[in-house]
Amino acid sequence: MYGCAGHTQSKKDLAAEYQSQVQILRPSIHARRANLTVKFQDLYGFAVEGNVDDVNVLNEVAEKARKKSKVWWAFEASKGPTWYLETRVSAAKLKLSALGNAIALKRLIRKGIPPALRPTVWFSLSGAAKKKSTVPDSYYDDLIAAVHGKVTPATKQIDHDLPRTFPGHPWLDTEEGHAALRRVLVGYSFRDSEVGYCQGLNYVAALLLLVMKTEEEAFWMLAVLLENVLVNDCYTNNLSGCHVEQRVFKDLFTKNCPRVASHLQALEFDVSLVSTEWFLCLFSKSLPSETTLRVWDVLFYEGAKVLFHVALAIFKMNEEELLLTHHVGDVINIIQRSTHHLFDPDDLITVAFEKIGFMATTNISKQRKKQESAVMADLDRRFRRLQPLNGTEE
């Protein structure tokens, strides 16, 4: 399942493969009689622990995915296999058919792209296919060959992080999995030396490998993510882009969740204690795999503002319980427990886009620009404070 062979299967074959992989989870009779923890593997091979209710939710999610697949196949049958590529609406020449497709596609994506179709749809809609088309076909292979054996601070950190990336996974935590993930990360560190490698990218690239099935496509998905989908400088040395996103998120948090924001401020709880990892790992370390991928479905189509929607939704869903907390540790426990058991992506996506107010991309861009100068000033002050210490050490 997790090999790196090229895409030779037809879409019907992929659909059949997916259907065979989706197992109906049946906890033991002892687990049914008592609220015991049951263990199993999800569709992407991750070990999952939950109670019987969690198993029932996952079975319902699997059934919903089957129904969604039928909707996608119906669109392909009526509109053609690449209908979703004809959704760009030109201001100069408005086509009602394209507008209709765009509206239908946005709704479909928010309801979830079928796992069997994810590699194809992501690669096309994210811009990864277009980015790949601008270079020779041998670009990835040539890059990997050119950097083989080279040692940099980035490669050293990558080697250190490989065994810590989803340990225990049946493919990622093997020599083959480590080698594939290393090639993708090292290759990108040489493609963009300004980014190089930042902790957090290992989890993102690992999940991309599981979804895309091939190293090369995972590499290009990582490239389009860092170069086009997310804001600049999120993964550079000083993480300035991430600091900007955190400041914008805090403002949005105060506006959209005023009661819990006020309560957490009284507890002296900084939301970045949990949200920084969400933004750097794109929720891959926090949410169950299918829930994370449902977030990514929307992220690759609608852009980085999706991260704000989802982060706000997590706090919104836990608002009443958070308002009863008295300690910072209790806040962290509630958030971690709730995210780890968010097995039904629909619950999260519904809150994120129906209960969180509309956020225009232009307004978020303005807030980012407003925060950039403050972040750079803070980073400059931090650098100046560290200079005397560095000088003393020398």
Q: Among the listed ranges 139-153, 160-174, 187-201, 361-375, which one has the minimum average pLDDT value?
A: 361-375
Structure tokens at 54: 């969690």
Identify the three-state secondary structure at position 2: coil
Q: Looking at residues 14-38, what average pLDDT do you find?
A: 54
Are 115 and 43 in contact, with CB atoms under 8 Å apart? yes
Q: Is the pLDDT of residue 3 over 70?
A: no
Facing residues of 47 across strands?
A: 41
The radius of gyration of the chain's CA atoms, rounded to the nearest angstrom, is 22
* Strand (E) or helix (H) holding 41: strand 38-41
Q: Looking at residues 94-108, what average pLDDT do you find?
A: 74
**Measured between alpha carbons, how far is 248 from 250 in angstroms, rounded to an integer?**
5
pLDDT digits (tens, 9 = 90+) for 140-168: 999 999 999 999 999 999 999 999 999 99
**Measured between alpha carbons, how far is 163 from 202 in angstroms, rounded to an integer?**
10
Q: Is the pLDDT of residue 12 over 80?
A: no
Are 89 and 97 in contact, with CB atoms under 8 Å apart? no
240 vs 98, which has greater pLDDT? 240
pLDDT of residue 197: 96
Are 146 and 183 in contact, with CB atoms under 8 Å apart? no
Its pTM stands at 0.87
To the nearest 10 degrees (0 to 180), the angle between helices 118-125 and 215-224 is 40
pLDDT digits (tens, 9 = 90+) for 27-54: 544 444 446 788 888 889 998 888 888 8
Q: Which residues contact 10 (CB under 8 A, 6 or more apart)?
A: none
pLDDT digits (tens, 9 = 90+) for 204-224: 999 999 999 899 999 999 999
Are 6 and 218 in contact, with CB atoms under 8 Å apart? no
pLDDT band at 367 (very low <50, low <70, confident <90, very high): very high
**Measured between alpha carbons, how far is 49 from 224 in angstroms, rounded to an integer?**
33
For residue 171, which phi and psi values (nearest 5 degrees)? -120, -45
Task: Tell me the domains of the chain and their CATH numbers.
Answer: 115-229 (1.10.8.270), 240-386 (1.10.472.80)
**Measured between alpha carbons, how far is 160 from 152 in angstroms, rounded to an integer?**
13
